[in-house]
Amino acid sequence: MKRIQLGVLLVALGVFLSSYGVAQRSEYWRERPGSWMLNAGLGTTRYLGDMNERGDLAHLRLGVSAALAVAYRYSNRLTFRGEAQLYYIHGTQQDTYLAYNNLSFHSINPEVWAGIQFDLWHPDDPNHIVVPYLIAGAGFTYITPKATYQGQSYSLAPLHTEGVSYNRLPVILRYGLGVPLFANERFKWNLEGIYTHVMSDYVDDVSTVYPDRTNMSPLAAALSDRRLELGQTPNQAGAKRGNNTRNDGYFILSGRLIWIISTTKQQHYRLMFGGVRPKKIVYGD
């Protein structure tokens, strides 16, 4: 619930800014049904899993993301969208109630997904200056958790630090909210807040219990239980290592630059005005 509240608050900030006239509505280059759009995004990530405390806003452990998308405006309110994204996330038990276990991870993961955008109101609705949109979709991500040990970075999945081999290509479900900030005749800037629910609890390589480490390699054993680095006694096999009742996920807040591609329908719309641009309407007028 707290992660959803955080996303809503951040996107609401974009709505607030838009309501003060930052956004612009261009009837000349408004998205028409049948239009194609290219979408590039740059944002910040926050991992939510076994190595952070979800309500701890003092230690957000932010990362970065970059995305490219293509979208097709099917109707006045419905848009289809496909996207590829690369995101960096990280987490650590430092400054949490499990600091004595000393686990941490970082990863740069790719993802692909497809879904829809649905405008909350019709673009011609005179009662709403800004028209936010809902986002929902599904896809896949490839998880690559790593940890730094004695100055070197090691991939954790091949080491089987919990004694299991897990799926590294899980399904993802994405949902969120977007809001336009401003636009001109060719480009739009939007703000989006999206939470990605991963159908896996191993994004951070932590899920269940500490395994029996007697048959592990020295490196795998050292990265499975890192209490020795703090001078503490290692955990017993079967001791709780993670919380497998809730899958991992991550939130991304991103700015989006959208280029509206001229299509036959768009060109026909322009010809209806005889090559004369209609007046640009500025939100807040």
Question: Which region among 103-112, 182-191, 210-219 has the lowest average model confidence (pLDDT)?
Answer: 182-191
d(CA 106, CA 35): 39
Residue 215 C-beta-side C-alpha neighbours within 13 Å? 5
Both tokens of residue 27?
Answer: 């009837």
Average pLDDT of span 253-281: 64
Amino acid 34: pLDDT: 87
CA–CA dist 39, 29 (Å, integer): 16
| Residue 35: CB atoms within 10 Å | 20
Give the domain 2-273 fold.
Answer: Porin (2.40.160)
Cα 104 from Cα 223, distance rounded (Å)? 9
Whether 26 has a pLDDT exceeding 50, the answer reads no
For tokens 């054993």, name the residue.
221
Count of C-beta atoms within a 10 Å radius of residue 107: 23
Q: How far apart are CA 234 and CA 207, in angstroms?
A: 18
User: Measured between alpha carbons, how far is 161 from 164 in angstroms, rounded to an integer?
Assistant: 7
> Residue 64's closest CA among 251, 258, 257?
251
Tens of pLDDT along 181-192? 988 777 899 999
Burial environment of residue 62 by CB neighbours within 10 A (0 to 12, 13 to 18, 19 or more): middle
Question: Closest Cα partner for 257 from 185, 176, 191?
Answer: 191
The β-bridge partners of 80 are 72, 116
Higher per-residue pLDDT: 25 or 208: 208
Residue 167: pLDDT band with limits 50, 70, 90: very high
Per the model's pLDDT, the better-predicted residue between 3 and 140 turns out to be 140
Reduced to 3 states (helix: H, G, I; strand: E, B; else coil), residue 120 is: coil
The rounded distance, in Å, linking the Cα atoms of 285 and 270 is: 24
Show the tokens assigned to 24: 């612009």
Euclidean distance between CA atoms 60 and 177, whole angstroms: 21
Of 225, 211, 172, residue with least CA distance to 194? 172
Residue 34 CA to residue 266 CA, distance in Å, equals: 8
pLDDT band of 19, cuts 50, 70, 90: very low
| Interval 81-97: pLDDT, tens | 999 999 999 999 988 88
Q: What phi, psi does 52 have (nearest 5°)?
A: -155, 170
* Residue 45 and residue 250 in contact, taking contact as beta carbons nearer than 8 Å: yes
d(CA 107, CA 134): 28
DSSP 8-class letter at 177: E
Terminal alpha carbon distance of the chain = 37
Which three-class secondary structure state does DSSP give residue 61?
coil
